[in-house]
Amino acid sequence: PSPATLQQRLSAIPAVEWWDKPFLKVASSYDAAPHNTVAANANTEVLTHYVEHPVPIEPPAEPAPPPPQPLPLTKRERKKLRTQRRLAAEREKQDQIRCGLMAPPPPKVKISNLMQAMKNEAVMDPSAMEAKVRAEMAQRVRNHELRNLARKLTPQQRKDKKRRKMLNDPTGGGTPVRERERVH
């Protein structure tokens, strides 16, 4: 490049960058201080040991297309996922019991395993133990029925679910009805 072009390019470079101006006492030049050094020109009152990170700004671009809708899972895949989920939850529960974060569940005593589970107490007073076991069994059945009742859908929810299934709406009304082709 010619000397004139080079001089023009050099004159376009500012003496002080805009991000450095708040940190200088004399903002016209880096070394415009009395002792002609950058350290003497630095405004140390605004300097800290913290690093200031600018807020990241997304570059202007077209929004990404929405991801494709996932295909509905087959019955076997749903069954496998459910099994894996339940096993993972059970493993987590056992780990918490092992670590002492959760109390172990009481033993499920039935009439059939009464003698093995409560050896000494059952020998001393078998009638009282049998009554106690029958009460525990009845309580487990009641708890089961209460859980089912709490999970039961209201009539309006049942209608909505049925409507979603009829319209093949994939937002949670079960799996859509699919026709199978028969090959002869």
Using DSSP's 3-state secondary structure scheme, residue 42 falls into: strand
pLDDT at position 26 is 75
DSSP string, 79-123: HHHHHHHHHHHHHHHHHHHHHTSSPPPPP---STTHHHHSHHHHH
Q: Is 24 helix (H, G, I), strand (E, B) or coil?
A: strand
Of 55, 46, 11, the residue nearest 27 (C-alpha): 46
Please say if the pLDDT value at position 12 is more than 90.
no
pLDDT at 39 over 70: yes
Residue 30: per-residue pLDDT: 65
pLDDT in tens, 127-172: 898 999 999 999 999 999 999 999 999 999 999 999 988 887 665 5
pLDDT of residue 175: 53
Model confidence pLDDT, tens digit, residues 72-130: 899 999 999 999 999 999 999 999 999 999 999 988 889 898 888 888 887 888 889 89
| pLDDT tops 70 at residue 177 | no
Q: Is pLDDT of 54 > 80?
A: yes
pLDDT at 31: 64
pLDDT on residue 181: 56
